[in-house]
Structure 1
Amino acid sequence: MRDIDLGWIRVFVEVGRRGSLSEAARALHLTQPAVSYQIKRAEQEFGTPLIRRLHRGVELTDNGEALFDILSGSVERIDKLASRIRARPGQNLLRLHTDYAFSGLWLIPRIHRFSQANPGIDIQVIASQHSDPGQLQPNDVAVFFGSHDRFGPDATLLMAERVVPVCAPALASDHPAGRPGSFRLIHLDSKDPSPWLDWRRYLAAIGQGDAPLKDSGNLRLNTYSLVIEAAMGGQGLALGWRGLIDGHLERGTLVPLGREVTLPGSGYFLVGNGDSGPATQRLKEWLLRETEGRD
């Protein structure tokens, strides 16, 4: 669930709890410079140092400790109040958590169909690059990418990971299918190991693990929507996730160029948190109907 924006206060409390700027940055999905900036802002407000940098990590100064004692309990109470308010029965607001690729390429082009069938329900789409099932609140719905063992037995597979190389039609006519090494490759950056198929794993899956990849002039992007935009613009060959790019294939703005690979047990899963109310159940059933046959 998205936390209430408390500015430097939440950042300061997280640094105090963890004793590390980098750990606080990871917990808050911020960069370390952003965390440092917020701490400096707080120190300017109070006119005194609040943290002391150590060889490894940081510790609070005496003034920082006094401030932490006041703020930490307040932040916790604010978060609990926000959870209660957001989870009140009878509210007609549904929160759907997912990533940028699913929301931009699959959800937004068709969410109007759910709204037309359920005019009294408001949808809040919360897109993030990082999925955390542990942050879901009662009645929240999530569509997360990963493997079944990560989400548990109650998760339902909506779309299996099915991948095929794709490019713009004009580019396809100039290159032979099945030889990615002759293309400029478009990579989707990720943490190592990648939670999704990357080019090396794709080639290994089709029996071309020893095939050399183009080692220079490639394009690396950090969001999948940009990968698809680049592919449609003729910038190179990308890995296309079926379900997300089917509309582009049907319209001919992208064409497949190579073998399709399916990874059983991996893909987009419908994830929830405990019992759900009637409105939440309608959204889950709609997602299942819309993705029927894609697993």
Structure 2
Amino acid sequence: MRRHLPLNALRAFEASARLLSFTRAGLELRVTQTAISHQVKQLEDMLGASLFRRLPRGLVLTDEGLALLPVLTDALDRIGAAIERIEAKETREVVTVGCVATFATGWLLQRVERFKTAHPYIDLRLLTNNNRVDIAGDGLDLALRFGDGSWHGTEAIHLLSAPLSPVCRPDVADRLLKPADLAQEFLLRSYRAEEWPLWFAVAGAPCPKIQGPIFDSSVAMAEAAARGVGVGLVPVAMFENELTSGRLVRPFAPEVPAGSYWLTWLKSKDLTPGMRAFRDWMIETLRANAREVEEVRAATPAQAPKAKAKPRTKAKAKVVKKRRR
């Protein structure tokens, strides 16, 4: 059963317990020492327990007082923080975002803590999917999707291009000398059947008959490739960690554009402050990343191509031998 305890009495006890003085508690709360003492006594009567031992030179908390103080301090701090947020128009808001799993694991989850730090009063609810999403039916505020940006009834902001390129385990890559060698491997594929043929066309090699497993997630496909099941065709920008660690390698450089990642929402829904904050954070973070990449490229000196050594004539070779002697 919930107890209805007077807030003034609770505040009087908290201040007295923290300062161990009714007089100093009165000065802090701007009431008399007598009023503080009366409110604490009222609280003790309601609880049926003494919270202080009154001594000639001050106060000492009883076991009951020691048990109550930290709980009450935390509650009052939370109440104060909530009031401050309301006064500052920073009420907490839940923003539900649907996200294709590849983008979630390859980009968003590495940076979501930054959003939380920048926007502590927004609770981000992240629901992953395999890119088949119904914004209204799934109760989403925003959706991060892969495609061409054309979804009926939605606004769409372009975030990041994601060209596809083959990836595989290092020992598999060792036996791949040219794109045509892929015909001897299991080629892992998505439900978009045109991707491998497009890549082989860019690579300038005939596309073999593809009979490998079909995946609805590039994350699962990349994991299968890392385990040696076959060669996957994935958006390589989403697998920087695996490529940097060497768990996956790119046997060939050609890439094929297959789509981009987009931030979308229903045209019929007005953006809330939390939705706008997430949208603006996404855009600024991606711009900052692009600037960092350009700065790294600009700071890295271009290496001139190595000149091929000219064959030496027999006469010159003899001279060299004589000099070495």
Letter in 1 for 2:264: V
User: 3-state SS of the aligned residue for 2:197?
Assistant: helix
Name the residue aligned to 2:186: 184
Name the residue aligned to 2:120: 119
Give how far 1:214 is off.
5.5
Identity over aligned pairs, percent:
22
Higher RCO (CA 8 Å, separation ≥ 6 residues):
1
Give how far 1:269 is off.
0.7
TM-score by length of 2: 0.53
Distance 2:216 2:170 in 1: 24
Tell me if the contact between 1:175 and 1:183 (Cα under 8 Å) persists in the aligned partners: no
Counterpart among 177, 189, 201 of residue 204 in structure 1: 201
Letter in 2 for 1:148: G
Structure 2 residue runs of 5 or longer lacking an equivalent are 1-89, 294-325
Larger Rg: 2
Name the residue aligned to 2:296: none
How is 1:61-210 mapped onto 2 (pairs within 5 angstroms)? 90-129=91-130, 130-133=132-135, 135=137, 140-150=141-151, 154-179=155-180, 180-188=182-190, 190=191, 194=192, 198-208=195-205, 210=206
Name the residue aligned to 1:271: 264
Letter in 1 for 2:222: I
Distance 2:152 2:260 in 1: 11
Tell me if the contact between 1:133 and 1:151 (Cα under 8 Å) persists in the aligned partners: no
Relative distance call for 1:123 and 1:140 in structure 2 (3 A) is: same
Give how far 1:97 is off.
0.9
Distance 1:199 1:181 in 2: 11
Relative distance call for 1:281 and 1:260 in structure 2 (3 A) is: farther
Give how far 1:236 is off.
1.6
Relative distance call for 1:128 and 1:233 in structure 2 (3 A) is: same
Relative distance call for 1:212 and 1:262 in structure 2 (3 A) is: closer
Name the residue aligned to 1:67: none
Distance 2:210 2:97 in 1: 39
Name the residue aligned to 2:23: none
Distance 1:255 1:232 in 2: 9
Deviations 1:91-111 (A, max 9, x none): 521111122222233222321
Spell out structure 1 runs of 4+ moving beyond 6 A. Answer: none
Give how far 1:239 is off.
0.7
Give how far 1:240 is off.
2.0
Tell me if the contact between 2:189 and 2:214 (Cα under 8 Å) persists in the aligned partners: yes
User: 3-state SS of the aligned residue for 2:262?
Assistant: strand
User: 3-state SS of the aligned residue for 1:275?
Assistant: coil
User: 3-state SS of the aligned residue for 2:257?
Assistant: strand
Name the residue aligned to 2:82: none
Letter in 2 for 1:202: W
Deviations 1:49-71 (A, max 9, x none): xxxxxxxxxxxxxxxxxxxxxxx
Q: Which has the higher helix share?
A: 2
Deviations 1:151-200 (A, max 9, x none): 67841111213111111222212222423213221122x2xxx2x85222
Is residue 2:284 matched to residue 1:289?
yes
Structure 1 residue runs of 5 or longer lacking an equivalent are 1-88
Give how far 1:224 is off.
2.2
How is 1:217-232 mapped onto 2 (pairs within 5 angstroms)? 218-232=212-226
Give how far 1:136 is off.
7.2
CA RMSD of aligned residues (A): 2.8
Moved more, 90-99 or 146-155: 146-155
Tell me if the contact between 2:197 and 2:207 (Cα under 8 Å) persists in the aligned partners: no
User: 3-state SS of the aligned residue for 1:155?
Assistant: strand
